C-alpha cells in the first residue's frame, strides 16, 4: 500500500530535491506524456457524473452572477 505524506509526522518529512533535466529531456518527456494522455482523453466521452458536475457548476455560476 502506498504511503502518503499525511501518514508521517510533519517534522520527519524532508523536501525531496528535483532531478536536473536538460531541456531536451524535458521536451522528450513532455512529448511522450502528451502522446500517452492527450488523445485518449480527448476521444473519451464525458460520463454522466461529469455532466452532472458541470451542470451544477454552471448553476452556481449563474446564481453568483445574479446575486452580484
pLDDT tier, 59 (very low <50, low <70, confident <90, very high otherwise): very high
pLDDT tier, 51 (very low <50, low <70, confident <90, very high otherwise): very high
Is position 33 within any domain? yes
Is position 32 within any domain? yes
Q: Report the number of distinct structural domains present in the chain.
A: 1
Cα separation, 40 vs 34, in Å, equals 10
Is position 3 within any domain? no
Is position 41 within any domain? yes
DSSP line for 1-68: -PPPGGGS-GGG--PPPPP---HHHHHHHHHHHHHHHHHHHHHSPPPHHHHHHHHHHHHHHHHHHHH-
pTM here? 0.39
Q: Tell me: pLDDT of 56 over 60.
A: yes
pLDDT digits (tens, 9 = 90+) for 9-43: 766 666 667 678 899 999 999 999 988 887 777 77
pLDDT on residue 6: 64
Amino acid at each position: 500500500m502506498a504511503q502518503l505524506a499525511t501518514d508521517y509526522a510533519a517534522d520527519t518529512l524532508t523536501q525531496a530535491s528535483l532531478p536536473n533535466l536538460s531541456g531536451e529531456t524535458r521536451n522528450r518527456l513532455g512529448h511522450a506524456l502528451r502522446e500517452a494522455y492527450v488523445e485518449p482523453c480527448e476521444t473519451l466521452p464525458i460520463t454522466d457524473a461529469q455532466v452532472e458536475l458541470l451542470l451544477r457548476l454552471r448553476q452556481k455560476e449563474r446564481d453568483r452572477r445574479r446575486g452580484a
